[in-house]
Amino acid sequence: MTAPPVLGTLESSLYARDLDAAEAFYAGTLGLGVVMRQPGRHVFFRAGASILLIFNPVATAEGPQPDSRLPVPGHGATGPGHYCFSVAREEMDLWRTHLEAADVAIEADFLWPNGARSIYVRDPAGNSVELAEPALWA
């Protein structure tokens, strides 16, 4: 049996214990809009047509609270994760300049064999954050 089509990524998760630092990085430095927050548990951001979920791994591992209307199973990860933002080719230099002005260390800035460029940084929780041209996967 053939699987029905997948439309794309609706949401992805990273984990950070310090949600205030995560919000300062993703909203303050990267300019993402905050969609929702629950102190101590999560902060969610709009990233283009998708949502980036940042969860406190300790809180989300517990699963739904007894009084919760939403039976979302417990989940989480340990160690740094990875997230890649799609960035227009003509804005890559602007992003590098912006990140450097915000004192965000650039871990790598290179061209892939197909000519697409990626810039790698770390968020305050140690997650690997990549900004890459869409041509990376074209």
Q: By C-alpha distance, which of 6, 1, 12, 24 is closest to 123?
A: 24
Whether the per-residue pLDDT at 37 is higher than 90: the answer is yes
pLDDT digits (tens, 9 = 90+) for 66-123: 667 767 777 778 889 999 999 999 999 999 999 999 999 999 999 999 999 999 999 9
CB 134 within 8 A of CB 84: no
Residue 67 counted as domain residue: no
Whether the per-residue pLDDT at 11 is higher than 70: the answer is yes
Q: What is the pLDDT of residue 35?
A: 97
Q: What is the pLDDT of residue 60?
A: 82
Residue 95 counted as domain residue: yes
Q: What is the pLDDT of residue 129?
A: 96
Residue 122 counted as domain residue: yes
Residue 75 counted as domain residue: no
Residue 3 counted as domain residue: no
Q: What angle do CA 119, 12, 103 make, to 5 degrees?
A: 35
Give the number of domains in the chain: 1
pLDDT digits (tens, 9 = 90+) for 117-137: 999 999 999 999 999 999 999
Residue 1 counted as domain residue: no
Residue 71 counted as domain residue: no
Residue 40 counted as domain residue: yes
Q: What is the pLDDT of residue 40?
A: 92
Percentage of the chain modeled with pLDDT above 90: 77
Range of the domain at 30: 11-61+80-137
pLDDT digits (tens, 9 = 90+) for 55-71: 999 888 776 666 677 67
Kindly report the CATH number assigned to the domain that includes residue 105: 3.10.180.10
Distance between CA atoms of 94 and 128, rounded to whole angstroms? 20
